[in-house]
Chains A and B, each alone.
Chain A
Amino acid sequence: MSAPLRETPSQTAGPFLHIGMMPDGAAMRPLHRAAPADGVLLGGGLFDAEGAPVADALIEMMQEGGVWARCATDGAGAWSLRAARPGARPFVDLWIVARGINLGLHTRLYFPDADRSADNAMARIPVERRETLVASKGADGAYRLDIRLGGPHETVFFDA
């Protein structure tokens, strides 16, 4: 039996990731998945360790039931995605790549109104850091979560 292969190493997506992953349609249609009917809006800001907005990132979301979406952050570091309403799992998975990120970062957004008491991942996070993953719910029904790549309130990232 041949030796197992090693995973291909990662490299940063760089500042121009939009060309390949958010094409404008001139050469290639953007990848598209219909937003779930009766879905909810997720969004927030993405900030670096100094609190500066990260304006050149791509965020992908994976949710139970095969719901997937992606967005680029805007000039203010804001991101926005459409998800399905929370089901059995109290979270969605998020994956972030950008210039300066050498290997995609995996985090989660937990719904504040879902039951997290049986969640194994949450149980492994030091109590004082758990809140970095829990969104707030606005009066408009949208969920908001700021993601911080570093600094005093650094978001929890996972090794899955």
Chain B
Amino acid sequence: MTPRDRSRHPPALTPGYFSSVHRAPREALVPLDPEEADLSGPVFGTADIGSLDHDLIRNAARPGEMAIGPRILVHGRVLDEAGRGVPGALLEIWQANAGGRYRHARDGYLAPLDPNFAGCGRVLTDGEGAYRFDTVMPGAYPFPNGPNAWRPAHVHFSVFGWAFPQRLVTQMYFEGDPMIRHCPIVATLPDAGAVEALTARYDPANDRPMDARAWRFDIVLRGRRATPVEP
């Protein structure tokens, strides 16, 4: 496994995001030799996936009904750092509904729940590392982090590759959203390139005409250490 480039990720302590202050270890991490670290990981397959797990518009809807909100599809590929597709990667996603409300006991936001929307989904990547979800555009919502903090529209991703050290949790934002540059959680990212990497692009070539707009989001996981090659 290639070593993790920590300059690509937010540091643990980011005081502008209040929740990190008491949850950030202060001691230096202890290095584990990647060659020594256990590279095995849990293996997931089609038996773990239900037929509507990829479709958040319908997977919690009453018969004949659908979730409310702008219809979108989110698709892309899971790649390793060498650009190779990662087949069989498991992606779990969760998000707020179109009004910015999560179906969660601890979310008390004013916006109403949608009885036809749970906000969770799951897919396996195909042989080329490609995936797709159908969902609704999540709403922005306020959160307690100073006098007035809002989250941009986002989808949470949890990714399993072929090895446990690849395990990644992140969030996907939407190109053109003016809320991105105001968000204290986005601001934990180290630079503009990292924000860019988490920003899905509108992808009209993959729209479903008269149905849904497409957003493209590729995910890069750590890869195998390259074998040195003679120049």
Contact = CB atoms under 8 A, between A and B. Distances in A.
Interface of A is mostly: loop
B25 A125 contact: no
A4 to B, nearest CB: 5
Contacts of B5: 6-7
Nearest to A125: B30
Contacts of A21: 92, 94, 158
A15 interface: yes
Interface string B187-231: 011100110011000000000000000000001111100100000
Contacts, number: 231
A89 interface: yes
A155 B59 CA distance: 40
Contacts of A38: none
Interface string B47-65: 0101011001001100000
B27 A19 contact: no
Given A97-B169, A102-B14, A9 B25 contact: no
Nearest to B41: A62
Contacts of B103: 19
A68 B5 CA distance: 25
Contact of A7 (B30, B44, B164, B220): B220
A157 B29 CA distance: 5
B37 A7 contact: no
A15 B151 CA distance: 13
Interface of A: 2, 4-21, 23, 26-29, 31, 33, 48-50, 52, 54, 56, 60, 62, 64, 66, 68, 89, 93, 95, 97-106, 120-121, 124-125, 129, 149-150, 154-160
